[in-house]
Amino acid sequence: MSSAYVIGLGRSGIAAARLLQQQGWQVTVSDSGTSEALQQTQQALAAENITVQLGDRFTPNPDLMQRVVVSPGVPWDLPNLVKARELGIETIGEVELAWQTLQQIPWVGITGTNGKTTTTALIAAIFQAAGFQAPACGNIGYAIGEVALQALSDSATTPDWIIAELSSYQIESSNSVAPQIGIWTTFTPDHLSRHHTLENYYNIKAKLLQHSQFQILNGDDPYLRNMASDWEAAYWTRVTGKADLPGPADRGAYIESGWAIVQGEPIVPVSALRMVGAHNQQNLLMSVLAARLAGIEAGAIVQAIEAFPGVEHRLERIRTWNGIDLINDSKATNYDAAQVGLASVDAPAVLIAGGEAKAGDDQSWLQTIQAKAAAVLLIGSAAPAFAQRLAQIGYPDYEIVETMDRAVQRGTELAKNLGAKVVLLSPACASFDQYDNFEQRGDHFRQLCQELP
């Protein structure tokens, strides 16, 4: 029996381990952590004859492993992974593993710095309204390995389409993934601590689109628009109308007179989408264009968009408390996403920001704070650095409150006193200083908002 080694015991790693075992591999999972939750997972997998080594640092050994599968959180250029490849050990990502099982099914692959999750969720909703079994998976919903495992164990559950949100980490370790439709939502500096240069980050994202039969690109994104000569066969989308489309208007999608016009045909009024902001109109255009390229009728598209509730943790209105909207934008984990979030809500707003800071250009975010924020409350490890930046630009109305509990209490108090219409959690940061992930951070904010008297 051939041996496979999975690095990382998160959801993707567990799915990969089970999928490999189903395919007849002898599986060992390695994780550097030793937490109680990981120990419980270790016991559960041991009962399935999957070995888990906790507190373990991966060491490549061709005699002990013929295949290595990497979870998205594990850097692809980790020295021992590079060594594994040099030693001739087959080394792939969890998405690549799932692709080997699911490649007979058409995929929609969605990538980009921001906008991926909303676009993925909206596309899945449209395809499902059209009667397709089309799970949203990858960075959203299920791990792709879970979908592959389910399809392998019960052919009746095999999807008609895979709607996959794919991060740069997942694309980097997946060389042969080739969607029917590839979508690039936005491109701004992010994850540079992992990918080192903007060019490297761009090339990783571009790989997914280059492998796709149809390519949809956001013509409102300045960086992507500047690279239009790279994408002569692409279908472009533009919120600002057909005059500015990089490609032919009869191929692309744009907004005119309040309607989403897709390949020359008015499909749906923009007002049918409940989500605010021009960026969501762009997400709408990309989703509808993908649906039309898949042959979906306008009726199913309109039905899905009218019913679409939005996405958790992305400009999610929790409740209106004493006339103040409490909005959870915990998924805004970088400056660009947080700028879009703040620009999309009614002013003046009380902003809650902070967490684990990322590298990036904060200029546009800071300008939006000056224009729209009545006050900024700072949490997490980034708080002192953010306070310093706000002071440097002459913005006086900030406080370091450190924790989410204090931020919600103080935020609602300030909103009442300052006549603010909104309290917005839009952190511009990763969550790992205080939370396991952005979902847990958003859930905590939601719970605190719901508990307000």
**216 and 145 in a common domain:** yes
Confidence of residue 196 (pLDDT cuts 50, 70, 90): low
Kindly tell me if the per-residue pLDDT of 243 is higher than 90: no
**104 and 74 in a common domain:** no
Q: Please give the residue range of the domain that contains residue 425.
A: 316-450
253-262 pLDDT, tens digit per residue, is: 999 999 999 9
**286 and 186 in a common domain:** yes
* Centroid of chain to Cα 258: 28
Q: Higher-confidence residue: 277 or 440?
A: 440
What percent of the chain has a predicted confidence (pLDDT) above 70?
Answer: 98
61-107 pLDDT, tens digit per residue, is: 999 999 999 988 788 888 999 999 999 999 999 999 999 999 999 99
Kindly tell me if the per-residue pLDDT of 301 is higher than 70: yes
* pTM for the model: 0.82
Q: What is the CATH number of the domain that holds 373?
A: 3.90.190.20
**274 and 323 in a common domain:** no
- 3-state helix/strand/coil string of the chain: CCEEEEECCCHHHHHHHHHHHHCCCEEEEEECCCCHHHHHHHHHHHCCCCEEEECCCCCCCCCCCCEEEECCCCCCCCHHHHHHHHCCCEEEEHHHHHHHHHCCCCEEEEECCCCHHHHHHHHHHHHHHCCCCCCEEECCCECHHHHHHHHHHCHHHCCCCEEEECCHHHHHCCCCCCCCEEEECCCCCCCHHHHCCHHHHHHHHHHHHHCCCEEEEECCCHHHHHCHHHCCCCEEEECCCHHHCCCCCCCCEEEECCEEEECCEEEEEHHHCCCCCHHHHHHHHHHHHHHHHCCCCHHHHHHHHHHCCCECCECEEEEEECCEEEEECCCCCCHHHHHHHHHHCCCCEEEEEECECCCCCCHHHHHHHHHHEEEEEEECCCHHHHHHHHHHCCCCCEEEEECHHHHHHHHHHHHHHHCCCEEEECCCCECCCCCCCHHHHHHHHHHHHHCCC
Looking at residues 325-349, what average pLDDT do you find? Answer: 93
**278 and 142 in a common domain:** yes
Instruction: Give the total number of structural domains in the chain.
Output: 3
Confidence of residue 193 (pLDDT cuts 50, 70, 90): low
Q: What is the mean pLDDT of the chain?
A: 93
145-188 pLDDT, tens digit per residue, is: 999 999 988 888 899 999 999 998 899 999 999 999 999 999 98
**103 and 73 in a common domain:** no
Question: Domain boundary at 307, 334, 355, which?
Answer: 307
Looking at residues 196-216, what average pLDDT do you find? Answer: 91
Place of tokens 């370790």: 173
**234 and 104 in a common domain:** yes
Confidence of residue 194 (pLDDT cuts 50, 70, 90): low
Q: What is the pLDDT of residue 132?
A: 97
Question: Domain boundary at 275, 290, 307, which?
Answer: 307
**141 and 66 in a common domain:** no
**320 and 240 in a common domain:** no
Confidence of residue 141 (pLDDT cuts 50, 70, 90): confident
14-62 pLDDT, tens digit per residue, is: 999 999 999 999 999 999 999 998 999 999 999 999 999 999 989 999 9
Looking at residues 203-224, what average pLDDT do you find? Answer: 95
Q: What is the pLDDT of residue 158?
A: 92
